[in-house]
Amino acid sequence: MLKDPYLKEVYLDTVERNKDQAEFLQAVREVFESLEPYVVRHPEFQKAGIMERLVEPERMVTFRVTWEDDQGKVHVNRGYRTQFNSAIGPYKGGLRFHPSVNASIIKFLGFEQIFKNSLTGLPLGGGKGGANFDPKGRSDGEVMRFCQSFMTELYRHIGSNCDVPAGDIGVGGREIGFLFGQYKRLSNRFTGVLTGKDVIFGGSLVRTEATGYGLLYFTEEMLKCLRHESVFGKTIVVSGSGNVAIYAVEKATHLGGKVIAMSDSKGYVVDDDGIKLDVVKQIKEVERGRISEYAKRVPGSRYVEGCKGIWSLPCQIALPCATQNELDLESAKLLVANGVMAVSEGANMPSTAEATAYLQEHGVLFGPAKAANAGGVATSGLEMSQNSMRSSWSFEQVDERLKGIMLNIFHMADNAARECDRPGDLVTGANVAGFAKVAKAMLSEGLY
Ligand code: NDP
Ligand code: 2IT
């Protein structure tokens, strides 16, 4: 509970003005609670209204997206872009296409992105966008028409030195290609306005793998420095089976871990011999199918209905890589009872506040999303650099930079936690380290 009168007042005012935005308020509350001791030591933040300004996006647009399906039926979706904070760089953050998208989801993601992007050490501000469009079951033509319509409005708000979107849930290489094509057509400019592009038109090697790989680089360093342990030989559970989950499994396996389960929104598969990732890639990346297919193709594996049950499987490392609030208190209790050693967040805000507190109180190493999953946006930052230089780097060069950034993020969060007298509390550490730079820049740039 917040005690500092300034933070409390700003928080209550934020609640008042955003009453129906539960996810956004959840994200703000976690950050405010972490920052309390730090903000109390810096009265200049109150004087400059830093916290009030931080919770109000610099700009937010919503727009109509009209498109026609293959049967000629007209559909209307709602598009969003929040340009949350540009103190340290152009707005940067993904686009999410999922039926659950609303202003609260976009604002929680945009708010988190401010601190995550700051932690990367690259000059990136925070933003996020998307639409309540469901790409599932849609043909390539339908997805293309949706993307073209979405970009027809979005293009006037973005630019390589202004706001650079990328992928998130439901937005991968296919969608980025359609969005980029339409941006180019409307603006007559070939610029690095989106990241996650195909390598043949300006994308960066490793961007596809970056979030999952980065999550494992972070987790390995966390295990090494805080427990003298490693991923090697550990039993691992990964939720989700999209971009982040797939490359988390790939790197966990490279590091000698055994991933025994993956999921999607309908259920999970268990393979005690270790998940065969080539089968998952075929089902998910090529066929865009369901994870239940895995159990039909791999003898000895099984499928269980319902995605939450994945946390009842005994494991030493749990990597939630699907979506917000997928790991609740009940799941956290099961993980602890089954001896989990570390939980590292590949998704954004996958653990509820209660689950996070329970895991930390029970001595579980906890890698918070804005630190642990920053590898994706960090590599997007490297894609922007390559685009500006009109150059491209090798897989090894980018992977090495990504690894360096993730190790640095761990140490920044770990050091900040110690300085706050909360050793090992990487939630506090990541929030303080990410915030410190943004607040300093906001102080220097005057009121806006
Ligand atoms: P994808 O669309 O590639 O995959 C999403 C996965 O999560 C799918 O398996 C999907 O299952 C599952 N999922 C989505 N919504 C729900 C839900 N409501 N309940 C249960 N499962 C769900 O997305 P990404 O892998 O890119 O993103 C996963 C998470 O990682 C998100 O939280 C995203 O914000 C975060 N992230 C992504 C980054 C990136 O670079 N892509 C970077 C940093 C974080 P189904 O197919 O059944 O819907
Ligand atoms: O949540 C995230 O960090 C992302 N979806 C990636 C954003 C990006 O700009 O690469």
128 annotated active-site: yes
Quote the CA–CA distance of 250 and 367 in Å, as a whole number. Answer: 19
Confidence of residue 1 (pLDDT cuts 50, 70, 90): confident
Query: 189: which 2 tokens?
Result: 């400019």
* pLDDT of 404: 98
Q: Which atom of ligand 1 is nearest to the CA of 244?
A: 25
pLDDT tens string 60-76: 999 999 999 999 999 99
Contact indicator for 164, 195 with CB cutoff of 8 Å = yes
| 38 CB-near residues (< 8 Å, 6+ apart) | 420, 432, 435, 436
* pLDDT of 382: 98
266 lines ligand 1 (CB under 6 A): yes
Q: Which atom of ligand 2 is nearest to the CA of 112?
A: 1
Quote the CA–CA distance of 80 and 96 in Å, as a whole number. Answer: 9
Centre of ligand 2 from the C-alpha of residue 166, in Å: 6
Q: Which atom of ligand 2 is nearest to the CA of 92?
A: 9
**210-372: CATH class:** alpha beta
120 lines ligand 2 (CB under 6 A): no
Specify the domain boundaries for CATH 3.40.50.720 within the chain: 210-372
pLDDT tens string 280-328: 999 999 999 999 999 999 999 999 999 999 999 999 999 999 999 999 9
Instruction: Let me know how long the chain is.
Output: 448
Query: 349: which 2 tokens?
Result: 């805000």
Q: Whose CA is nearest to atom 41 of ligand 1?
A: 168
pLDDT tens string 322-379: 999 999 999 999 999 999 999 999 999 999 999 999 999 999 999 999 999 999 999 9
373 lines ligand 1 (CB under 6 A): yes
Query: 366: which 2 tokens?
Result: 């906890």
Side chain identity, residue 54: L
195 lines ligand 2 (CB under 6 A): yes
Residue 222 has pLDDT above 90, yes or no: yes
Residue 191 has pLDDT above 90, yes or no: yes
Choosing from 92, 128, 234, 403, the catalytic residue is: 128
% of the chain at pLDDT higher than 70:
100
CA within 13 Å, CB half, 39: 28
Nearest partner of 280 among 307, 251, 306, 241, judged by Cα: 241
Quote the CA–CA distance of 61 and 311 in Å, as a whole number. Answer: 37
Quote the CA–CA distance of 377 and 371 in Å, as a whole number. Answer: 11
| Topology (CATH) of 59-191 | Rossmann fold (3.40.50)
348 lines ligand 1 (CB under 6 A): yes
Give the strands of the sheet with 317-320, arranged side by side: 302-305, 267-270, 258-263, 235-239, 317-320, 342-344, 365-367
Residue to mutate (ligand 2; options 211, 379, 405; most atoms within 8 A of CB): 211
Within 264-419, strands assigned E span 267-270, 302-305, 317-320, 342-344, 365-367
Specify the domain boundaries for CATH 3.40.50.10860 within the chain: 59-191
Quote the CA–CA distance of 370 and 362 in Å, as a whole number. Answer: 22
Residue to mutate (ligand 1; options 23, 169, 281, 348; most atoms within 8 A of CB): 169
Centre of ligand 1 from the C-alpha of residue 168, in Å: 7
pTM above 0.75, yes or no: yes
Average pLDDT, the chain: 98
Q: Whose CA is nearest to atom 17 of ligand 1?
A: 265
196 lines ligand 1 (CB under 6 A): no
pLDDT tens string 162-180: 999 999 999 999 999 999 9
Quote the CA–CA distance of 384 and 52 in Å, as a whole number. Answer: 30
Centre of ligand 1 from the C-alpha of residue 97, in Å: 10
pLDDT tens string 87-117: 999 999 999 999 999 999 999 999 999 999 9
In the three-class reduction of DSSP (H, G, I as helix; E, B as strand; rest coil), residue 160 is classed as coil
Please report which ligand is nearest the Cα atom of 195.
Answer: 2
CA within 13 Å, CB half, 261: 27
In the three-class reduction of DSSP (H, G, I as helix; E, B as strand; rest coil), residue 203 is classed as coil
195 lines ligand 1 (CB under 6 A): no
